[in-house]
Chain A
Amino acid sequence: MNRVVEPLAFAWWNTSLSPLAKSRASDEDKQIAIGVICYLLFYCAVDFLALGEISADDVALLRTLTELEGYRIESGVSQSGRLMFDTCFIYRPDRLQISTPIEIYDGSDDDRMKIAQKIGLQLIDDGTWFSLLVSHWPSRRNDADRISLGIHLRYVVKDIIAASEFAPYIILLGDYNDEPFDVSLSQRLMATRDKALIINKRKKQLLYNPFWRHLSYPNLQALDYAGTYYYKNGPMTKWHTFDQIMVSSAFLGEIGWALDEASTGIIDIPGYLQMVKNNQSIFDHLPIIATFVRKP
């Protein structure tokens, strides 16, 4: 008889506290951030939370919090030349064990880019391995070659698939500063909206991007948010869906771990949305979540 394994929840939040790992937040901002983190961990029952725009000081602060006792905090803050990884990972060590994050770059020098951080993650309950690729791509105001970012992230996915005996569980999450429909993600990374194409046509190499569903207002009465990132000077839209979680085809199979799409999306935390839409606030991203269930 198969043992029942609890669902597994992954979340991403670009905190806006310390862009490029340089602290800019006031004490009040930090308290708000701690509130959001606690909401995600306790109310949303997130098992693995990846945070963006975090500095080494922010990681040190998180490690002092009694609220986070029982969680492990792994710093992803790292500098290589002019490039900076500004991430942090909070997870439940009673459920997960993780490998040291590997930093992935494209090789060229002058316009060298950070592609992702790769983390191997094993679920203690049943021993399943997951490969996590956490990305925070450069801003669109920066003239980074976005097509190349997508091509290189696909190389990484291809390598993980090639090295795996069975169809691997790959989860990609982060702030791509690109929308699901942009060429970098939809064409080069090959993250499709068409789940049926993957399942019925056996296009196993494609990724599935459930955030195609989150391009517009979920609530047509409230018209409260229509994406994950709020840019107050947007000429055509103030909302963008730059934060996304994408998964490999293994999560769409008949057996094993499966994406629970009903519990995947943008998290609207009471009171926080007003801060995101407030021009005086440093916060401009909503958190996102993806939940996975184990099929019997």
Chain B
Amino acid sequence: MVDFIAAFNKGLDAAQIAEKNKREIDSVFDELNKQLANATKGNVNIQIRECEKVPDFNPLSSRIDFRIIKYQAICAINPLFPFPQSLAKEIATWSQDRTGYPCKISFGIKEHYCANKVALENALALMLQDPIVGENLAELMALSEASA
């Protein structure tokens, strides 16, 4: 007979690991935002948000796809300028496993798979070094200069 109690206990353990991993991932983003807030005088904040898009047009397809695709993205905002909301800049796409790791950060033509905290920290650092990401963050910071 199947040992349901063993399976149940395994599920509880997995839930604990997932919770721990998600807290750890949150802590990485908290530290990132703390450092960015110091460096930009509070003008840049990074968040994971749910975004929507329409499928890419495919000329070979016989039908037009009207579905809306939902996905998660790493977005940057300037918290000092909360309106309009469209000023959130999507700088990378984000996905994570049900247990937290691996998580994936995609920007430009690069995808980084992160199996632990160190990998995530390094991938976020590489994301910040990307010139397009830098351009987006500079635009958010420029909001303050424009209003000064």
**Chain A residues within 8 Å of B, Cβ to Cβ:** 78, 80, 97, 100-109, 112, 115, 118, 122, 124, 127, 148, 151-152, 155-156, 159
Contacts and interface: CB of A to CB of B under 8 A. Distances in A.
B111 A109 contact: no
Nearest to A104: B111
A109 B114 CA distance: 10
B80 interface: no
Given A112-B122, A155-B102, A100 B109 contact: yes
Contact of A124 (B60, B105, B119): B60
A151 B102 CA distance: 10
Contacts of B109: 78, 100-103
Contacts of B46: none
Contacts of A127: 60-62
A118 B61 CA distance: 22
- The 10 A-B residue pairs with the shortest CB-CB distance, nearest first, are A107-B119, A107-B114, A107-B123, A109-B122, A108-B119, A107-B112, A127-B60, A104-B111, A103-B110, A155-B113
Contact of A104 (B61, B113, B120, B125): B113
A101 B110 CA distance: 9
Which of B95, B105, B109, B120 has the most C-beta atoms of chain A within 10 angstroms of its own C-beta? B109
7 contacts: A103-B109, A104-B110, A106-B114, A107-B113, A107-B114, A108-B118, A108-B122
Given A109-B122, A112-B122, A155-B102, A102 B111 contact: yes
B61 A105 contact: no
A102 B106 CA distance: 9
A242 B6 CA distance: 41
Contacts of A118: 111
A106 B60 CA distance: 33
B15 interface: no
B129 to A, nearest CB: 10
A168 to B, nearest CB: 16
B49 interface: no
A118 B58 CA distance: 19
Contact of A151 (B95, B105, B115, B118): B115
A102 B113 CA distance: 13
B111 A106 contact: no
A104 B112 CA distance: 6
B110 A80 contact: yes
Interface string B20-57: 00000000000000000000000000000000000000
Contact of A102 (B60, B110, B115): B110
Contacts of B89: none
A11 to B, nearest CB: 24
B134 to A, nearest CB: 16
Given A107-B123, A109-B118, A122-B60, A115 B113 contact: yes
Contacts of B116: 108
A215 B62 CA distance: 44
A97 B123 CA distance: 30
Contacts of A156: 111, 113
